[in-house]
C-alpha cells in the first residue's frame, strides 16, 4: 500500500494485470483443453505502474525526466553541471547495479537523491522508481530525474512513468550508435550529444549523428553539451524550464 497516495499497487505483486480474457464465465469443471485470446501487452503491469508514477509527479507539480545512455556517457556529470548552473530545483532517483556513488555525488552538490541498486537488473522498471519516489521528498521540486542504469538496450523497453526521455550520446562512443541501437534512439524526446569538448580528438560527425537519429525519430530535439566547460548547459536548463512551465 502506497502511503503517499493511498494506492494499492504494491511492488511486484503483479496483481494488477489487466488481461482481458474473452471468457466471461469460467467453467469450473474444465477438462477439455481450450484456447483463449488474451491480447495483452506483456509489460502491462509495468505500464499500469508507470501511469501511477506519472500521477505522483503530476500531483507534486514536478516534471519527470528519464536519463538514458551507455555506461559513462556523462549522465551524473550532466546532473552535477545542471545543479551548478542553478535555476532548477531538482532531485534524482539513481539507478545502478551496485554502489551509492552516483547518489552521493548528487547529494554532495546539495540536491536530494535516492539510490536504487538493481543487483542484476540492467534497467529500472516502474516499480523500482515508485519505490524510490517514497524514499525521497519530491514536494517543491521542479524536476525529478531518473538516472537509468547505463545500458543502451534494456531501459528503452520500460516506461518508468516519466514525461520525457532524454538519451545521451557521448563523443567517444562514436556517431554510429543511433543506427546500431534503434530502439533506444527512437524512444528519445531529446538527444544530448555530450563531451563535445572531445570533438577535436575523435572522428565524431555531429551532423551524421543527428541525421541518423532523425531517420529513426524525425521529431527528436538535439542539444550539444560539454559538461566540463558548461557549453550547452544554458540551453538545456532553458529547455527543462520551458517543459516544466508547460506541465
Partner 1 sequence: MHEFSIVQDLLYMCEKNAKDNSATKVTKVEVKIGKLSGVEPHLLQIAFDTFKEKTICDGAEFCIHHQDLVVRCTMCGKETILEKNTFACPHCDGAVEVLDGEDMYLMKLEME
Ligand X SMILES: Nc1nc2c(ncn2[C@@H]2O[C@H](COP(=O)(O)OP(=O)(O)OP(=O)(O)O)[C@@H](O)[C@H]2O)c(=O)[nH]1
Distance CA 217, CA 148 (A): 21
Q: If we measure between CA atoms, which residue out of 152, 22, 139 comes closest to residue 75?
A: 152
Region for 17 from its dihedrals, namely left if φ exceeds 0, alpha if ψ lies in -120 to 50, beta otherwise = beta
What residues line the site for partner 1 (CB under 8 A)? 14, 17, 19, 21, 23, 26-46, 121-123, 125, 153-154, 156-158, 179, 182-184, 186, 215-218
Supply 195's cell numbers. 563531451
**Cβ 51 to partner 1 shortest distance, Å:** 16
The DSSP H or E segment spanning 214 is helix 206-216
CA pair distance 132, 134, nearest whole angstrom: 5
Question: Among residue numbers 108 through 147, which ones bind Zn ion (CB under 5 A)?
Answer: 122
Identify what 86 binds: partner 1, ligand X, Mg ion, none; CB under 5 to 8 Å per kind: none
Q: Which of 11, 4, 8 is nearest to 121 (CA)?
A: 11
> Within positions 153 to 192, which residues make up the interface with Zn ion, using CB under 5 A?
154
- Quote the CA–CA distance of 202 and 185 in Å, as a whole number: 21
115, containing H or E segment:
strand 112-117
- Considering only residues 98 to 117 of the shown chain, the ones binding Mg ion according to CB under 5 A are 102
Pick from 53, 56, 62, 74: which binds ligand X (CB under 6 A)? 74
Residue 227 touches which of Zn ion, partner 1, ligand X, none (Cβ within 5-8 Å per kind): ligand X
Query: Quick one: which of 52, 126, 145, 150 contacts ligand X (CB under 6 A)?
Result: 150
115 touching ligand X, by CB under 6 A: no
Q: How far is the CB of 73 from ligand X (least distance, A)?
A: 5
Residue 45 or 160: the one with the smaller Cβ distance to ligand X is 160
Q: What are phi and psi for residue 52, nearest 5 degrees?
A: -65, -40
Name the site residues for ligand X (rule: CB under 6 A).
69, 71-77, 102, 150, 194-195, 197-198, 226-228
- What residue ranges bind Zn ion (CB under 5 A)? 122, 154
Amino acid at each position: 500500500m502506497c502511503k503517499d497516495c493511498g494506492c494499492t499497487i504494491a511492488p511486484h505483486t503483479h496483481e494488477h494485470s489487466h488481461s482481458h480474457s474473452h471468457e466471461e464465465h469460467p467453467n469450473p469443471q474444465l477438462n477439455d483443453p481450450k484456447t483463449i485470446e488474451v491480447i495483452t501487452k506483456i509489460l502491462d503491469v509495468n505500464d499500469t505502474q508507470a501511469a501511477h508514477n506519472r500521477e505522483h509527479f503530476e500531483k507534486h507539480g514536478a516534471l519527470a525526466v528519464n536519463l538514458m545512455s551507455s555506461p559513462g556517457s556523462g549522465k551524473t556529470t550532466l546532473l552535477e553541471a545542471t545543479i551548478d548552473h542553478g535555476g532548477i530545483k531538482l532531485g534524482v532517483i539513481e539507478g545502478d547495479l551496485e554502489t551509492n556513488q552516483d547518489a552521493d555525488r548528487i547529494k554532495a552538490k546539495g540536491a536530494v537523491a535516492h539510490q536504487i541498486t538493481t543487483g542484476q537488473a540492467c534497467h529500472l522498471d516502474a516499480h523500482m522508481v515508485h519505490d524510490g519516489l517514497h524514499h525521497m521528498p519530491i514536494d517543491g521540486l521542479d524536476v525529478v530525474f531518473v538516472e537509468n542504469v547505463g545500458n543502451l538496450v534494456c531501459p528503452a523497453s520500460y516506461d518508468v512513468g516519466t514525461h520525457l526521455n532524454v538519451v545521451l550520446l557521448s563523443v567517444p562512443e562514436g556517431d554510429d550508435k543511433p543506427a546500431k541501437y534503434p530502439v533506444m534512439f527512437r524512444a528519445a524526446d531529446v538527444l544530448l550529444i555530450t563531451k563535445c569538448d572531445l570533438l577535436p580528438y575523435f572522428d565524431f560527425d555531429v551532423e551524421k549523428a543527428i541525421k541518423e537519429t532523425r531517420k529513426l525519430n524525425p521529431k527528436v530535439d538535439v542539444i550539444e553539451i560539454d559538461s566540463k566547460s558548461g557549453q550547452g548547459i544554458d540551453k538545456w536548463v532553458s529547455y527543462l524550464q520551458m517543459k516544466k512551465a508547460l506541465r
